[in-house]
C-alpha cells in the first residue's frame, strides 16, 4: 500500500543519469529531426525496436532568422526558425527565462541573456547595439525529452525517437546523451548486496536499494515526528514511515583509490542523489496522503581492498485512514435521490417558481 523498491529503482533510473554517469553506460550521439521523428546516430548502438533508453542530456539548436533592434529601449527581438521553450519574467524562473545564443559574428550577442518578453518563436533581450554580421543560433535544453524514451531501430548505427514538441524537420541537436544500461539493483539487505557485488566479474560502480524497517508514527496528532511525548493514537489516521537505504559500491583496490572515490562521492554522487530523490512524491491510490522523500543521512559504510561502500538513508512517509482498512459493510452509491422542498417568501406565503430549481 506504500512505495515499493521497484518505485525507487524506476525513479533513480530515470533521474540519476541527468546528474551523474557513475551508475550507467552513457552514449553521446548526434541527432536531427527528419520526416516527423528524431533520427539519432550512434555507432553500433545495439538497440532493437521498442527498447527503452534514458535520455540524460538533450539540447536543441534553433537557428536565428532575424534580429530587430530598438535603439530607444536598447532591446533586440530575436526571431527563431522554430518554437522555443523559453518564458519571460524577472528573477530566475528555473532557468527558463534565460536564452543562450552562440555562433553570432557579433560577440555581443553570444552568451546568456534574460528574456524580457517572449512569443512562441521570438525573445526580446537587452542589447547595446544592433547586431553586426552573420546570425547564430539559440541553444536550449529540452526537458520534455529527458527520461524514458522508446526507440525504433533503423539500422546498426541509427534509430529514431518520437518528436514530442512539434519541432520541424532539419533541426539539429547540440547535445544528445542517453543511457542504455544502469547498474541500479534491489537487494533484500546489505549482506546480499555485498555478496552480489563481490560475485560480479565486471565490477563497475553500482547502486543497491535496500528497504529497512517501516515504523508507525508514535504521535498521530502531529506531522513532525520529532516529539518526545507520545499521545493517544488516532485510529482514524495512521502515519507510516518507510526507511530506504541506498548503498553506492565502487572499486577501490588501494587506500589512495578509496580516498579518491570518497571525494567523488561527496562532490558528485551525493548531490546527484539529492536531486534525484529529494522531494519526490511516490503517489499511490491506496493511501490517503503521501509525503515527499527526504534524506536522513549519508556516510561512509565500509572499505576493503576490493570496494568502497557509501550509505544513504531516506525516509518516505505516508498516511493510511480507517476507510482503507477492513470494511465490514459494503459501500454502495446513492441512486435516484428525490428532493422535495417548500419555499416561503418574506410574508410567509408560498413562493411561486417560474422554473424548477436545478439540483
Which string of b and e fits 289-324 if b means at least 16 CB within 10 Å? ebbebeeeebeebebeeebbbbbbebbbbbbbeeee
Band of residue 130 on the pLDDT scale cut at 50, 70, 90: very high
Under 8 Å between Cβ of 130 and 67: yes
Which structural domain, as residue segments, surrounds residue 232? 184-324
Based on the domain organization, do 72 and 167 belong to the same domain? yes
Based on the domain organization, do 207 and 298 belong to the same domain? yes
Based on the domain organization, do 141 and 217 belong to the same domain? no
Band of residue 258 on the pLDDT scale cut at 50, 70, 90: confident
* Number of domain units in the chain: 2
Based on the domain organization, do 32 and 147 belong to the same domain? yes
pLDDT at residue 226, as a whole number: 47
Based on the domain organization, do 42 and 149 belong to the same domain? yes
Based on the domain organization, do 79 and 189 belong to the same domain? no
pLDDT at residue 180, as a whole number: 87
Based on the domain organization, do 165 and 243 belong to the same domain? no
Strands (DSSP E) contained in the chain are: 24-34, 37-41, 52-70, 75-80, 98-102, 111-114, 117-118, 122-126, 137-141, 147-150, 152-155, 158-162, 173-182, 184-187, 206-216, 237-251, 289-290, 294-303, 307-321
Where among 122, 153, 182 does a domain terminate? 182
pLDDT tens for 175-189 read 999 998 899 999 999
CA gap 167, 346 in Å, rounded? 65
Where among 123, 153, 182 does a domain terminate? 182
- Bridge partner residues of 313 (DSSP): 245, 297
pLDDT tens for 24-72 read 999 999 999 999 999 999 999 999 999 999 999 999 999 999 999 999 9
Evaluate whether residue 13 is within a structural domain: no
pLDDT at residue 235, as a whole number: 63
Based on the domain organization, do 203 and 290 belong to the same domain? yes
pLDDT at residue 21, as a whole number: 93
Based on the domain organization, do 156 and 191 belong to the same domain? no
Where among 131, 158, 182 does a domain terminate? 182
Based on the domain organization, do 164 and 66 belong to the same domain? yes
| Mean of per-residue pLDDT scores for the chain | 87
CATH of the domain at 298: 3.30.2000.10
Based on the domain organization, do 48 and 162 belong to the same domain? yes
Based on the domain organization, do 307 and 192 belong to the same domain? yes
pLDDT at residue 187, as a whole number: 96
Identify which has the larger pLDDT, 322 or 226: 322
Evaluate whether residue 352 is within a structural domain: no
Has residue 302 got a pLDDT over 50? Answer: yes
Evaluate whether residue 209 is within a structural domain: yes
Amino acid at each position: 500500500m506504500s512505495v515499493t523498491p521497484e518505485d525507487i529503482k524506476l525513479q533513480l533510473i530515470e533521474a540519476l543519469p541527468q546528474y551523474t554517469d557513475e551508475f550507467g553506460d552513457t552514449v553521446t550521439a548526434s541527432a536531427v529531426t527528419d520526416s516527423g521523428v528524431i533520427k539519432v546516430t550512434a555507432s553500433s548502438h545495439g538497440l532493437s525496436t521498442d527498447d527503452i533508453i534514458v535520455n540524460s542530456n538533450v539540447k536543441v539548436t534553433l537557428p536565428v532568422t532575424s534580429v530587430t533592434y530598438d535603439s530607444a529601449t536598447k532591446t533586440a527581438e530575436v526571431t527563431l526558425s522554430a518554437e522555443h521553450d523559453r518564458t519571460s519574467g524577472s528573477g530566475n524562473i528555473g532557468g527558463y527565462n534565460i536564452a543562450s545564443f552562440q555562433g553570432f559574428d557579433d560577440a555581443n550577442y553570444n552568451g546568456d541573456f534574460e528574456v524580457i518578453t517572449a512569443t512562441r518563436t521570438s525573445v526580446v533581450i537587452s542589447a547595446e547595439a544592433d547586431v553586426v554580421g552573420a546570425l547564430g543560433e539559440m541553444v536550449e535544453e529540452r526537458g520534455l525529452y529527458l527520461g524514458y524514451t522508446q526507440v525504433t531501430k533503423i539500422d546498426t548505427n541509427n534509430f529514431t525517437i518520437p518528436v514530442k514538441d512539434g519541432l520541424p524537420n532539419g533541426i539539429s541537436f547540440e547535445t544528445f546523451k542517453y543511457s542504455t544500461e544502469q547498474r541500479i539493483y534491489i537487494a533484500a539487505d546489505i549482506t546480499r548486496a555485498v555478496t552480489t557485488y563481490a560475485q560480479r566479474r565486471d565490477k563497475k560502480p553500482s547502486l543497491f536499494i535496500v528497504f529497512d524497517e517501516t515504523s508507525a508514527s508514535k504521535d498521530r496528532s502531529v506531522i513532525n515526528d520529532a516529539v518526545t511525548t507520545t499521545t493517544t493514537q488516532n485510529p482514524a489516521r495512521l502515519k507510516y514511515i518507510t526507511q530506504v537505504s541506498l548503498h553506492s559500491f565502487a572499486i577501490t583496490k588501494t587506500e589512495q583509490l578509496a580516498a579518491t572515490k570518497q571525494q567523488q562521492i561527496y562532490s558528485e554522487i551525493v548531490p546527484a542523489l539529492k536531486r534525484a530523490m529529494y522531494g519526490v512524491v511516490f503517489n499511490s491510490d491506496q493511501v490517503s496522503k503521501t509525503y515527499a522523500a527526504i534524506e536522513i543521512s549519508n556516510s561512509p559504510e565500509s572499505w576493503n581492498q576490493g570496494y568502497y561502500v557509501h550509505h544513504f538513508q531516506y525516509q518516505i512517509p505516508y498516511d493510511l485512514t480507517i476507510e482503507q482498512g477492513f470494511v465490514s459493510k459494503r459501500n454502495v452509491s446513492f441512486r435516484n435521490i428525490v428532493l422535495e422542498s417548500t419555499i416561503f417568501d418574506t410574508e410567509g406565503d408560498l413562493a411561486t417558481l417560474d422554473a424548477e430549481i436545478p439540483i
